[in-house]
Each structure stands twice: as C-alpha cells, then as structure tokens.
Amino acid sequence: MATEDDSAVKEPLDLIRLSLDERIYVKLRSDRELRGKLHAYDQHLNMILGDVEEVVTSVEIDDETYEEIVKTSKRHVQYLFVRGDGVILVSPPLRTS
C-alpha cells in the first residue's frame, strides 16, 4: 500500500453507496433528525428515504427559572425526498448486530 493511486481511492460518497437499501440516520439543519431506509441519493446528498421517522428537537427556556426544557416532536412519513443542502451528517443507525 505504498503507492497511492488516485483512481482507486474511494470518495466519501462511495461509502454512502454501501448504505443503499439500509436504514440510516440523517442529521439535518434546524435540529432535525431522520431515521429511514435509503432508497436513493446523489452528489448533492438529495435523498429518497422510505419508512421515515423525523424527530424535531426544540429547547425552550423558562422565563423565571431559566432552565432549559428540551422538547421533541416526531412524525412518520412513508416516502420522503430530502433536499441535500439541509443535510449535515449521514450515518448507519446504531445497531447491536
């Protein structure tokens, strides 16, 4: 492995390809997270996800006690197109297998 051939080096997008048809975890802007099955993606990270759960996290601050109240809301969507510019991170979900 001393020689580094540019054409043989994998891109990060190649590694996402390994997750096709697998369930993945996606972190989006605006404190949103998705968990669903990756059906398709492109170089912009536009994605088609199936059987998706979206979690929206919001933090409220109590006016008197100033304590942080973390709230989450969830929804389930059967089929979802995700625009790539909102994507922060993609990862396989934590699995015990």
Partner 1 sequence: MSGGAGGGAVGSAKTPADFLKSIRGRPVVVKLNSGVDYRGILACLDGYMNIAMEQTEEYVNGQLKNKYGDAFIRGNNVLYISTTKRTLGD
- The residues binding partner 1 (CB under 8 A) are 4, 9-13, 15-16, 25, 29, 45, 84-85, 87-92, 94
C-beta closer to partner 1: residue 13 or 77: 13
Q: How many CB atoms lie within 10 A of CB 33?
A: 17
E strands, 1-97, in order = 23-28, 32-41, 47-61, 68-82, 87-91
Nearest approach in angstroms of CB 15 to partner 1 is: 5
Cβ atoms of 33 and 55 closer than 8 Å: yes
C-beta closer to partner 1: residue 29 or 78: 29
C-beta closer to partner 1: residue 3 or 78: 3
Nearest approach in angstroms of CB 6 to partner 1 is: 9
Nearest approach in angstroms of CB 92 to partner 1 is: 6
Q: What is the DSSP letter of 17?
A: H
Cβ atoms of 35 and 77 closer than 8 Å: no
